[in-house]
Structure 1
Amino acid sequence: MLSDILHAQQVLLLFKKRGVQHIVISPGSRNAPLTISFTNDSYFKCYSIVDERCASHFAMGIAQQLKQPVAVVCTSGSALLNYYPAVTEAFYSEIPLIVLSADRPPHKIDIGDGQTIRQQHVYANHILYDTHLEMINSLDDQEAMATNERLINKAINVAITNHGPVHINIPFEEPLYNTVNVPQVEPKVVDSIIETNASIPSLFLDRWEKANRKLVILSTLNPDVFTQDQLNLLTSDPTVLVMSEVSSNIRHEKIIWGGIDT
């Protein structure tokens, strides 16, 4: 059983095909098409957390540990604003958090309708990619379906490739609770071409080689970021001083550790 709303089906099926398995769900009515669809598919591991701020940090924690995209789902209005602290943390910590926010249809924005705000681009300063899906009212609307396919695929690709938060805003019109037994759409996986910042700029390398004194500060990191051989190589360089924050998860006899801000 899943929602009869076609663009909700697109989200469900593409998440399944792309391996986005963990879904953290905040309460609400406008997000019912997503909640119904995810919770009735045994592929997904769904978690219900009432407080939205807690839900988003919980989702971020799963994504951080698994190093995989995790989705957090909310209703319309101010609900998604409560996700902002976690989105910001995910942005700076490079954690693939996917925010799925249900929204009112465009014609209900800015007319005084309840539980309604301007949701598009709400995380603009702390998001790698955000998009707004098209409403699909029938299977004949092939152009809108193709657009949504591309947008959903790109959001997932960015989260995976660039390691950070993305936001998919999804408008739903009532009725919200109607269901069908089998999907009516079959979206395709599309591998987008994503620009990454993986290479080290040549200017930095040139300055590093020429510097007589170098200070390296290790901030919050996963435990497996550096091997012991890499740390030995770095700390054996007489021009390099390495200092480490408590949260770096790195210990080494030649690294100055803890209380470095004093």
Structure 2
Amino acid sequence: MTTTINMANPNTIWASVLVEALVRSGVTHFVISPGSRSTPLAIAAVEHPKTTTTVHFDERGAGYFALGYARANQCAAALICTSGTAVANYLPAIVEASQDFLPMVVLTADRPPETWNSGVNQTILQDGIYSHYTRLNRTLPVPGTHIPLAFLIEMVDRACDAMQNVENPGPVHLNCPFEKPLEPTGVTTDFAPWLLPIRSWLNNDVSLSQNTNRPVTDIDPLIVVQTAARLARATHGLLVFGRENDRKHAESYLKLARILKWPIWIDIQSPLRSSLTYSELPLLNADILSQSEVQNRWQPNVILQFGGPLTSQLALDYFTEVRPEIYLQVHPFTTPSMDPTRCVTNHIQTEGGKFAEALYQRLSDSEIAPSYFDSGWSTQTQNFQNQY
């Protein structure tokens, strides 16, 4: 057996298999908020040879730590907490992860179902507590040899598949009831027959269900040709870089920006924010957009946006008022929440960096109309460099 299983009792076996299944799906960092009911999960996470752990005593802070981990590493961390009100403290971070399509696994320990609605201390209804902000919510059965361990592995794999879904990735919730003993107290029962049906799984390192979800990367050549033609003709174009979690596309975005020479709005949550300077290209900010001179003399009729929604309410209000003839938004995921202004005329569902690179290659051989936002305007924007 290549997988190490804590054989002390059904709880430790169950938790060991659960953590192993998560590790095989790429979840290797666990953020633990100490508590009694979550003891089996915490021990399993700490004992696994391929995991790393962070201990955070406050569940709200732990949730935001996992959120930041997902942003920085483009992979999920798993949260572990005890039962009761501790569970509710994860909600703000889960909402943000959901809105930003960030992966996160939430493992909440729970008391057995017979204690629910009974007034027992630290017992609330935890099933579905995060509502529609999780991509999958399951309350697992209480560990016992009558429950096949293959069922547990399947549930974990389903959760990870939902978390990494191409169309709509985001957080998932597994509610985990445990009976006492919660600590790894040894018992005389032979649990080997319980593990026998998953022996082949234990002896390899793959998931029962192979996750085939991948980011949307295919680019329709016709869309590239049509989009490049629109951009080449535009004299009042604006490039917008919205909320995005991956920094690897910055160079492709910069190449496209330099060839178009359009003014640019960069959201505070865009990784491109630290990659451009005012000396290179005209960068817009709230001070510039609020000037009546700008509003009267220049309004974009074509907007090309990469990434998710913008943070600035001023920019959102401005785009709503201007309502350009063509507003293209490029993002791997397209849902109504990606367009709060309802101004987008075309959603292009693909990876932003590759689409920007394809546009750059196409435009390199094209005649591009000069931007109305000329060098004089560029000089004016430099005056706001210290305020941006």
TM-score after normalising by structure 2: 0.57
Out of 166, 170, 178, the residue aligned to residue 176 of structure 2 is 170
Aligned residues: CA RMSD? 3.3
Equivalents in 2 of 1:92, 1:134: separation in Å? Answer: 29
Tell me if structure 1 keeps the 8 A contact 2:143–2:178. no
Change (3 A) 1:179 1:192: farther
Amino acid at match of 2:69: I
Equivalents in 2 of 1:53, 1:234: separation in Å? Answer: 39
Out of 216, 226, 231, the residue aligned to residue 249 of structure 2 is 226
Q: Which range moves more in the overlay, 145-154 or 115-124? A: 145-154
Give every structure 1 segment of 4 or more consecutive aligned residues whose post-TM-superposition deviation is greater than 3 Å: 160-163, 179-188, 192-201, 204-217, 229-232, 234-238, 251-255, 257-262
Q: Deviations over 1:117-172 (max 9, x none)?
A: 1111111221122212122311x433xx3332211111122223444211111111
Equivalents in 2 of 1:148, 1:172: separation in Å? Answer: 14
**Percent identical:** 27
Higher relative contact order (CA 8 A, sep 6+): 1
Residue ranges of structure 1 left out of the alignment (5+ in a row): none
Amino acid at match of 1:221: E
Out of 62, 71, 86, the residue aligned to residue 69 of structure 2 is 62
Q: Deviations over 1:12-33 (max 9, x none)?
A: 2212323321111001111011
Equivalent residue runs for 1:37-52 within 5 Å: 37-52=44-59
Residue ranges of structure 2 left out of the alignment (5+ in a row): 202-206, 290-311, 315-388
Equivalents in 1 of 2:216, 2:252: separation in Å? Answer: 25
Tell me if structure 2 keeps the 8 A contact 1:129–1:155. yes
Equivalents in 2 of 1:87, 1:129: separation in Å? Answer: 12
- Rg larger for: 2
Tell me if structure 2 keeps the 8 A contact 1:132–1:170. yes
Equivalent residue runs for 1:77-96 within 5 Å: 77-96=84-103
TM-score after normalising by structure 1: 0.81
Tell me if structure 2 keeps the 8 A contact 1:27–1:49. yes
Tell me if structure 1 keeps the 8 A contact 2:74–2:246. no
The CA deviation at 1:101 is 0.4
Q: Which range moves more in the overlay, 177-186 or 157-166? A: 177-186
Equivalent residue runs for 1:1-262 within 5 Å: 2=6, 4=9, 5=11, 6-138=13-145, 140-142=146-148, 145-162=149-166, 163-179=169-185, 185=195, 186=198, 188=201, 189=207, 190-191=209-210, 216-222=239-245, 224-233=247-256, 236-237=259-260, 242-250=264-272, 251-252=275-276, 253-254=280-281, 256-259=283-286, 261=312, 262=314
Count of aligned residue pairs for this structure pair: 257
Equivalents in 1 of 2:242, 2:150: separation in Å? Answer: 42
